[in-house]
Structure formats: C-alpha cells, structure tokens
Amino acid sequence: MKNKPIAIGIDFGTSNTVAATLEADGTTRVLKLDGESNLLKSLLYFPTRNESFLGKKAIEQYFDRGMEGRFFQSIKKLLPNPDFSGTSLFGKHASVEDLISRFLTGLRAVIEADIGGPLDGIPIFFGRPARYSEDSAREGLAVVRFRSAIESAGFNLANVKLIEEPVAASRVGSLHASGQKSKSGVAKGPVTLIADLGGGTSDFTLFEARAHGIHTFAVHGISVAGDSLDSDFFVARLQNFFGASIRYQRPFSSNVLTMPTALSKLLPKWHHHAFLRERATWNFILVLRKELVDPEQTPLLENLITLVEENLGYRLHLSVEDLKLELSNAEKKGFEFKSYPIEIAFDVKRKEFEKLIEPSLSAIGTTAIETCRIGKIAPTDVERLQFTGGTSKVPIIRERLTSLFPNAVVVDQDTFTAVAEGLALTGEAERK
C-alpha cells in the first residue's frame, strides 16, 4: 500500500453512507464510494440469497431484474427495535445484523480497492447516533447489534471505535469556529450547537473550541428526522389510498373489523415494506379480498396488493421525497403516483405540509433546547448554529431551529461529508 491512511472514518447513515481517510499530512480525503459519487446510498438488494448489490447498483439491478428479490433501505433504523428479530430471505432467516453486515462487507471491499490494500492495522472510526433510542435497553441493543454486524463484515473490532456522529461533526466545526472570541472576550471559539439532521436521527452537540481542544457541554439526539417527516405526510394523506381504513368480516362472524394496527404501521415506513411480503402477512392481505364489508373499498385493497406485489414502496418513497424538496421552493405542488391500478393525484400547499409534519418539527426543536438544558447553556448564549445532514436543507426545520437560538450566527458544513471527515480526524486526536 503506497499511501496507507492514518485512520478511516465511516458514516453509515440511514439514507447515505460516506467514508473518509486521514492522510499522513493531516488532511482528510472523502472517498468515491459509488462511481464518481462520495455518497453511497444505504440500499441493499438481494436478487438471490447469496448475491447482493449496494447503492445505485442496487436500484439499477432491482429494476433490471423486474423488481424480483428483496430490496432493503433504512436498515440502520432497525438496530434498536427488539420486535424485529429478522426477516425471511429466500426461505432462510436473516437478522438485522446479517443485513447490515452484508452492506458493510460490500463497503469494506470498496474502501480497500480505493486505498489499495486491506484495512489491517488501520484505526477505523464508525459514526453512531447520539441516541439510537430514549429507552436504555433499546440503546444498548442497537450498540451490540451494530458492533456484531461490523465484526461479521470482516472489520477487526480491536481497531474499531464507535464515535457519536455530532461529536465527529464538531471536529470539523471546531476548525472553523476556533481562533475567534466569545462574548466574554476570552480567546476561544464561540459556543456552538451542531444540528446533524439526517434521515433517521436528529443529533445535537453543544461545544466550544478551546486552546487545549474541544470542550463538549452536551450531546443529545432523537430518532426523529427526515424519514419521520415523510411518514407524517404518508399517514395524513396517503395511507387511506392503501386500505388503512378498510373494514372486513371473518366468515361466520358478526364482528366487523378494521385493518390491524400492526399492518397499518408498516405502510408509512418505507424500509418496512419488505416485511409486508412475509408469508403470514401476505396471506392475510390476499384473503381480505373475500372478506371486505364494503365492495367500494376493493380498489383500495388492490392498491395495497399492487404496492406490495410489485415492490413499489421505494418509488412511492421517492415521490414523497420529491414533494418535500419541491415544497422547499414552492407554495403549492402537485403530488402524483400512478402505477396501474394505483392512481393518486392531488395538490399540496406548503403550509399544509408544514402543519402535517408539526409533531416531528416540535420534537426536533424540543431536543435542541433539551441539549442546552443538559449542557447548562441558555439558548440565548448559543453564538453559532451549525447545520449538517440532508434534512437540514428543509426550510421549515432551519427556520424553527434558528428561531430558538436568536443570537446565533447560522453556518453550514458540507451537508453529507462533515461527519465522515470528523470521524477520520478523530484518528489525529487519538495519536496526541
């Protein structure tokens, strides 16, 4: 290996994965993980049990092969869920550790190809959310599962450390925040709050750059982020198009039932659509064709069957993502999703969308303020509000957080690569 890196940072995200190296001269280099792109979409496609594809290749192969096989996304969000023990993958059980391990195995091969040799002896810093879950048992479960997946993917745990993602982002942020004066006039960086808003979690780090290094006041987070905004919209405007409110009656029973809550909860979670294909769930859905109380609800049930049978969950997810982005710059936008017999079209106003996602907005804002309470810093004393992560581009979220910290100067880090670079920079701090 000609230029063996000092350390490697890996930001395994809910939506995208990024990796960076710390070079001998102290600079960081963000790796090309997917062709010419720094971003590797955290997607996993199995056309067969023993064959898998990542990122853009997963999408290409998925459609090239007629949408057959199993397609997974947002698998990181499954880590703290004790109710998810695994799924059937071509007749064999696959745990969440198995799925993430398969993704990380492919990622390791890409990194090794880039640096020109194996990762032996190189310190590896993996990012992890500030909080996988507010529940301590779920938090512990997520960490154990993630470490197990990392080891199964061929990484030597002796060389691996898990670093909270917003703490990693603060390493990059401190480079820009240092050398300034705080309100007190002392030569140190301003009190900075980093808002790392991704697809699965919203994480906050409150810190100050000092002469001896970074002083962290508090790290806090919540498992509410970009995916939650999409789910809020789905529940309010889309789930009834897919039978969430249908009524059915079992043979020889006088009871009229509604769609089981457990099944309805899978609908807005794009990364859970694959589980609708589980044998028991799928058989239940098909039997409903004969048990509907109101024949006029048949098209809604057929929409659901088509959604599952043709693996349209990802396409539907992209349609909602596009709407969210379009409403960042427009007061009104038409939403459309069509794939026979599904035919959905209606207009959405920005104000309506913002009202629908208010529960998630409120939770994110509350968590930011709670970070200050934990760090014993008043929101008015925050001098710098630094955004990173794809969801930080949503205007209403920026506006909400900015309003909570009225004296803070708003700055942006690189939306997608700051965490990976900060993780790599941890290698320099570890050597000192």
Q: Which residue intervals of 36-128 are DSSP H helices?
A: 55-64, 96-115
How does residue 184 score in pLDDT terms, banded at 50, 70 and 90? very low
**Burial of 29: CB neighbours in 10 Å, binned 0-12, 13-18, 19+:** middle
Which of these three, 303, 326, 349, is where a domain ends?
Answer: 326
Q: Torsions phi, psi of 180, nearest 5?
A: -110, 175
Instruction: Answer whether residue 321 is part of any domain.
Output: yes
Distance CA 191, CA 289 (A): 60
User: 47: domain range?
Assistant: 7-165+420-431
My answer on whether 121 and 265 are in the same domain is no
My answer on whether 12 and 161 are in the same domain is yes
pLDDT surpassing 80 at residue 386: yes
My answer on whether 21 and 161 are in the same domain is yes
My answer on whether 157 and 13 are in the same domain is yes
pLDDT score for 44: 92
Using omega within 30 degrees of 0 as the cis cutoff, is the peptide bond preceding 118 cis? no
Q: What percent of the chain has pLDDT above 70?
A: 93
Q: Average pLDDT of 13-29?
A: 92
Paired residues of 125 in beta bridges: 9, 161
My answer on whether 105 and 240 are in the same domain is no
pLDDT score for 179: 47
Question: Using one digit for the tens of pLDDT, what is the confidence trace for 352-369?
Answer: 998 998 989 999 999 999
Distance CA 181, CA 172 (A): 18
Distance CA 378, CA 145 (A): 36
pLDDT score for 432: 55
Which of these three, 275, 298, 326, is where a domain ends?
Answer: 326
254 or 370: which carries more pLDDT confidence? 370
- Looking at the structure of the chain, the number of domains it has is 2
pLDDT score for 200: 83
Distance CA 405, CA 397 (A): 13
Distance CA 30, CA 37 (A): 10
Instruction: Answer whether residue 376 is part of any domain.
Output: no
pLDDT score for 182: 43
Check residue 331 and report its DSSP letter.
S
pLDDT score for 344: 97
Instruction: Answer whether residue 51 is part of any domain.
Output: yes
Say if CB 55 and CB 38 are below 8 A apart.
no
Instruction: Answer whether residue 339 is part of any domain.
Output: no
Token pair listed for 366: 């509350």
CB neighbourhood size of 283 (10 A): 10
Instruction: Answer whether residue 368 is part of any domain.
Output: no
pLDDT surpassing 80 at residue 321: yes
pTM of the model: 0.74
My answer on whether 153 and 284 are in the same domain is no
My answer on whether 146 and 267 are in the same domain is no
Say if CB 404 and CB 362 are below 8 A apart.
no
- CATH value at residue 122: 3.30.420.40
- In this structure, of 95-109, 174-188, 309-323, the range with the lowest mean pLDDT score is 174-188
DSSP code per residue over 112-155: HHHHTS--TT--EEEEE-S-S-SSHHHHHHHHHHHHHHHHHTT-
Say if CB 274 and CB 308 are below 8 A apart.
no
Paired residues of 164 in beta bridges: 128
Question: Using one digit for the tens of pLDDT, what is the confidence trace for 389-403?
Answer: 888 888 889 999 999
Q: Is 327 left (phi over 0), alpha (psi -120 to 50) or beta?
A: alpha
My answer on whether 148 and 281 are in the same domain is no
Q: Which residues contact 141 (CB under 8 A, 6 or more apart)?
A: 79, 80, 82
pLDDT score for 114: 93
My answer on whether 56 and 130 are in the same domain is yes
Distance CA 167, CA 193 (A): 11
Which of these three, 305, 326, 347, is where a domain ends?
Answer: 326
My answer on whether 236 and 140 are in the same domain is no
Instruction: Answer whether residue 365 is part of any domain.
Output: no
Instruction: Answer whether residue 101 is part of any domain.
Output: yes
pLDDT score for 175: 52
E strand or H helix at 51, and its extent? Answer: strand 51-54
Question: Using one digit for the tens of pLDDT, what is the confidence trace for 54-88?
Answer: 999 998 998 788 778 888 878 898 899 998 888 88
Say if CB 141 and CB 82 are below 8 A apart.
yes
DSSP code per residue over 10-36: EEE-SSEEEEEEE-TTS-EEE---BTT
Instruction: Answer whether residue 16 is part of any domain.
Output: yes
My answer on whether 31 and 108 are in the same domain is yes
My answer on whether 44 and 161 are in the same domain is yes
